[in-house]
C-alpha cells in the first residue's frame, strides 16, 4: 500500500483499476552497454511493428465511425513509419552513440521539428503534429503496458480510474465520463480545467500529485480519495471497504425541487442570481437539476474539437459546421428557456487549434501560449472560424435568450472589431432574408488590463462577466496548472479583490449587468465575501449551486458588506481570510446559542 498526496479538487472516495494516460513523457538519456545494443535495436523495431498494428486498427475503426477522409490521416502516419529518417535514423543513433531507444527517437523528432519549423507553408508546418503523434506512439510502445492517450481512452470501462500526467481540454472533450469513476493527475491546481469538470460531474479527483502517472502501473488497484486529497495504491481491506461504502452516497445535495427554483435569497432579503457554468450541452440537465436560473458560461471550445464526417471534408476538420453548431445552440436555448444562455465564443489558443482531432492531443505545445494568441484575439485572427460561430449563434438567437460573450479581452479595439464581426454576420443573415434578433454582447473581465480599464470597456459592451480563474493567475503571475506555485494562487489577495471591485463599480456606473463566473464563487465562504463586495450575479459549476443557495440563506448581505469594507484595506490574503473565517464562525456560534 502506498499513499500519494495531492490537492483534492472533487470530494468522494472510489476504487478502480488504473488506466494510465501520459501525454508529455520526459525522456531520459542513458548509456547502453555493447552487450545490450542488439536488444535495444530490437525494442525499437518491436515498437515500430506495434505502432503499425495499432494504426491499422485505429484507421479501420475511424473509417467505420467517421468516414474515409478522417481515416486517411492515419495513412500518412503509416507511411512515415517507414521513412528512413525516422526509425532507421533512430537505430543509427542507438548504434553510434550507444544510447537508449527512447532518447534516440526523441532526438530524431527534434531534428524533424527543426526542419518543419523552417517551412513557410502553414499546411506543411502543421504536419509536424502528425510526426509528434507518431513519435509519441513509438515512445509509449517502448514502455510495455503503457497506452497512448487514444488507446488508453478505449481501455476505460466502468471499473476504471484515470491516472494522467495532465488532462488537457481537448482530451477532456473526448473522454466518456460515464466510464471514469475518478481521476488523478500529476499537474493541476484547484482551478485547473479538469478539476472544474470533476466537480461538475461529481467524480472524485485529486490533482497536483507530481508523479502519480509514473508511480502507478497500468491495471493496478487504486483508491482515489478526493475528500482526503489522497491516492492510495494497492489499498488494504479497510480502505477498500471505505471506498465501496461511500460510492453510492455521492448523490447531489440539491434538496427538494421547490427549494431549487428562482434566485437564492440572503437572510436579509437580497436576491442573488445563481447560473451554471457548463462545458457540454449534456450538462444542461445537471444545471437545471441544481436549480440554475440560466447558463452564465457555456465554454464552447468542444465545438472546435468535435468533428463530423461532413465538417471534416468541408473545413479541414476544424470544428463543427454552422448548421451543426446552430442545432446545438438552439437545443441549449430551448432547453434552458425562459432562462438565458451566455455562450462564450471559442477560448482556445493557436496550438490547441493546430490539431484538434486525430488523436485529440497535441503532443508538444498544448499548454504553451495560454497568454498568446487565444480567446477573442484568436477569433479575430481566424475570422473564417469566428464567422461560422457567430452566424450559427445569431441564427439560434430567436429560440431563446442568448447572450454572446467574448473571452480573453485586453482592450477596446478588440471589442470593437469583435462587435463589427457580429454586425457583419447579422447583416449577411438579414440579406439572406433572416434578420436575427438583437443579442447582448458582453466580455469576460479576466485580464488585469481589462479590470483596470473596466470603465472604458463598459461603454462598449452590454454586460461584464468577471472570470476570476484567469484574473487571479494573471494578476498574481501564478500559472494555475502549475502545482509548484498553487499555494500562491490566492483568490483573497488584496489585488484580486480590488480588481473585482473595480470591475463591479464600472459596471454599476455604466448601468450594465455584471456577474462572476470563476471557481471562486463555488466556495461558499468566498461567495459570501463576494456578496459583500456588492456582487449579486454568479455562475458556477452546477454541483456547487445547492450549497451556495444554502450558504446564502444563512448570511445577511448587509453584514458582509460591512466586512468587505473592512477587509479590502488589509495587507495580506491571510489577514483577509482570518477576518472572513471569524465572521463565518460567528454565524455558526450565533446559531448554536
> Is 296 a residue that touches Mg ion (CB under 5 A)?
no
Contact pick of 468, 522, 528, 547 for ligand PEP (by CB under 6 A): 468
> Is 446 a residue that touches Mg ion (CB under 5 A)?
yes
Piece of the chain touching Mg ion by CB under 5 A; list 40-48, 161-169, 231-239, 438-446: 438-446
| Minimum distance of ligand PEP from residue 506's CB (angstroms) | 18
Nearest-angstrom CA–CA distance, 264 and 271: 6
Q: Which residues contact 585 (CB under 8 A, 6 or more apart)?
A: none
Set of cell numbers at residue 557:
448581505
409: how many CB neighbours lie within 10 A of its CB? 25
Strand, coil or helix: what is 141? helix
Mark residues 415-454: x for contact with ligand PEP by CB under 6 A, - for none. Answer: -------------------------------x--------
Catalytic residue flag (residue 399): no
Contact pick of 136, 319, 467, 542 for Mg ion (by CB under 5 A): 467
486's contact among ligand PEP, Mg ion, none, with CB below 5 to 8 A by partner kind, is: none
Distances (CA, A) of 498 to 103, 142, 370, 569: 49, 52, 24, 9
Nearest-angstrom CA–CA distance, 82 and 84: 6
Distances (CA, A) of 362 to 167, 168, 233, 354, 409: 12, 9, 29, 8, 25
Closest CA to 339 of 300, 296, 285: 296
> Is 467 a residue that touches ligand PEP (CB under 6 A)?
yes
Total chain residues near ligand PEP (CB under 6 A):
10
Nearest-angstrom CA–CA distance, 272 and 266: 8
Percent helix, strand, coil in the chain, to 5, is: 55, 15, 30
> Is 470 a residue that touches Mg ion (CB under 5 A)?
yes
Contact pick of 139, 181, 260, 299 for ligand PEP (by CB under 6 A): 299
Piece of the chain touching ligand PEP by CB under 6 A; list 258-266, 324-332, 468-476, 570-578: 468-476
Q: In the beta sheet, which residues pair with residue 354?
A: none
299's contact among Mg ion, ligand PEP, none, with CB below 5 to 8 A by partner kind, is: ligand PEP
Residue 44 near residue 88 (C-beta atoms within 8 A):
no
Closer by beta carbon to ligand PEP, 109 or else 386: 386
| Minimum distance of ligand PEP from residue 453's CB (angstroms) | 18
Mark residues 498-527: x for contact with ligand PEP by CB under 6 A, - for none. Answer: -------------------xx---------
> Is 293 a residue that touches ligand PEP (CB under 6 A)?
no
Closest CA to 494 of 579, 583, 572: 572
The string of DSSP codes covering 312-362 is HHHHTT-S--HHHHHHHHHHHHHHHTTSEEEEEP---BHHHHH--STTS--
Piece of the chain touching Mg ion by CB under 5 A; list 27-35, 139-147, 185-193, 440-448: 440-448
Catalytic residue flag (residue 193): yes
Among the options 399, 475, 493, 517, which is catalytic? 517
Site for ligand PEP in 333-352 (CB under 6 A): 347
Torsion of CA 572, 576, 582, 584, to 10 degrees: -150
| Minimum distance of ligand PEP from residue 474's CB (angstroms) | 9
- Chain residue at closest Cβ approach to ligand PEP: 467
Tell me the catalytic residues.
193, 517
Residue numbers at the binding site for ligand PEP (CB under 6 A): 297, 299, 347, 446, 467-470, 517-518
Residue numbers at the binding site for Mg ion (CB under 5 A): 446, 467, 470
Amino acid at each position: 500500500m502506498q499513499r500519494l498526496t495531492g490537492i483534492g479538487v472533487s470530494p468522494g472516495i472510489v476504487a478502480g483499476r488504473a488506466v494510465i494516460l501520459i501525454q508529455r513523457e520526459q525522456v531520459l538519456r542513458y548509456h547502453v552497454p555493447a552487450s545490450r545494443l542488439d536488444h535495444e535495436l530490437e525494442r525499437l523495431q518491436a515498437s515500430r511493428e506495434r505502432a503499425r498494428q495499432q494504426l491499422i486498427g485505429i484507421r479501420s475503426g475511424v473509417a467505420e465511425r467517421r468516414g474515409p477522409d478522417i481515416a486517411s490521416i492515419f495513412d500518412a502516419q503509416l507511411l512515415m513509419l517507414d521513412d528512413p529518417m525516422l526509425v532507421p535514423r533512430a537505430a543509427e543513433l542507438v548504434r553510434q552513440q550507444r544510447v537508449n531507444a527512447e532518447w534516440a527517437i526523441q532526438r530524431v523528432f527534434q531534428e524533424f521539428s527543426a526542419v518543419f519549423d523552417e517551412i513557410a507553408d502553414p499546411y506543411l508546418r502543421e504536419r509536424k503534429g502528425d510526426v509528434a503523434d507518431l513519435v509519441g506512439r513509438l515512445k509509449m510502445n517502448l514502455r510495455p503496458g503503457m497506452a497512448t492517450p487514444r488507446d488508453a481512452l478505449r481501455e476505460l470501462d466502468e471499473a476504471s480510474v484515470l491516472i494522467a500526467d495532465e488532462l488537457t481540454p481537448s482530451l477532456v472533450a473526448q473522454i466518456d465520463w460515464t466510464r471514469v469513476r475518478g481521476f488523478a493527475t500529476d499537474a493541476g491546481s484547484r482551478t485547473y480545467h479538469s478539476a472544474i469538470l470533476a466537480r461538475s460531474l461529481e467524480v472524485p479527483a485529486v490533482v497536483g500529485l507530481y508523479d502519480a502517472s509514473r508511480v502507478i502501473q497500468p491495471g493496478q488497484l487504486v483508491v482515489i480519495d478526493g475528500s482526503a486529497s489522497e491516492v492510495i495504491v494497492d489499498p488494504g481491506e479497510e480502505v477498500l471497504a471505505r471506498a465501496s461504502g461511500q460510492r453510492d452516497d455521492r448523490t447531489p445535495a440539491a434538496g427538494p425541487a421547490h427549494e431549487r427554483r428562482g434566485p437564492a435569497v440572503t437572510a436579509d432579503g437580497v436576491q442573488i442570481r445563481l447560473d451554471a457554468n457548463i462545458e457540454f450541452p449534456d450538462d444542461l440537465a445537471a444545471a437545471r437539476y441544481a436549480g440554475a436560473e440560466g447558463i452564465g458560461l457555456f465554454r464552447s471550445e468542444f465545438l472546435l474539437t468535435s468533428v463530423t464526417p461532413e465538417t471534416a471534408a468541408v473545413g479541414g476538420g476544424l470544428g463543427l459546421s454552422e448548421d451543426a453548431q446552430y442545432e446545438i445552440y438552439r437545443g441549449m436555448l430551448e432547453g434552458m428557456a425562459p432562462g438565458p444562455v451566455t455562450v462564450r465564443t471559442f477560448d482556445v489558443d493557436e496550438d490547441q487549434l493546430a490539431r484538434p482531432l486525430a488523436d485529440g492531443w497535441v503532443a508538444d505545445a498544448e499548454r504553451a501560449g495560454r497568454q498568446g494568441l487565444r480567446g477573442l484575439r484568436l477569433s479575430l485572427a481566424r475570422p473564417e472560424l469566428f464567422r461560422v460561430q457567430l452566424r450559427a449563434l445569431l441564427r439560434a438567437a430567436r429560440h431563446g435568450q442568448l447572450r454572446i460573450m467574448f473571452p480573453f479581452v485586453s482592450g477596446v479595439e478588440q471589442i470593437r472589431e469583435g462587435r463589427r464581426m457580429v454586425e457583419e454576420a447579422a447583416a449577411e443573415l438579414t440579406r439572406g432574408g433572416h434578420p436575427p434578433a438583437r443579442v447582448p454582447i458582453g466580455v469576460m473581465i479576466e485580464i488585469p488590463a481589462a479590470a483596470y480599464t473596466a470603465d472604458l470597456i463598459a461603454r462598449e459592451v452590454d454586460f461584464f462577466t468577471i472570470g476570476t480563474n484567469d484574473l487571479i493567475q494573471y494578476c498574481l503571475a501564478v500559472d494555475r496548472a502549475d502545482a509548484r506555485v498553487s499555494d500562491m494562487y490566492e483568490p483573497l489577495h488584496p489585488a484580486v479583490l480590488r480588481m473585482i471591485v473595480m470591475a463591479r463599480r464600472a459596471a454599476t456606473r455604466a448601468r450594465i449587468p455584471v456577474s462572476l463566473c470563476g471557481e471562486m464563487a463555488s466556495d461558499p465562504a468566498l461567495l459570501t465575501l463576494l456578496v459583500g463586495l456588492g456582487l449579486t450575479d454568479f455562475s458556477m459549476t452546477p454541483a456547487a449551486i445547492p450549497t451556495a443557495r444554502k450558504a446564502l440563506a444563512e448570511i445577511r448581505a448587509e453584514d458582509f458588506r460591512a466586512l468587505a469594507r473592512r477587509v479590502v484595506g488589509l495587507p495580506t490574503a491571510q489577514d483577509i481570510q482570518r477576518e472572513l473565517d471569524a465572521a463565518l464562525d460567528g454565524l455558526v456560534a450565533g446559531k448554536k446559542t
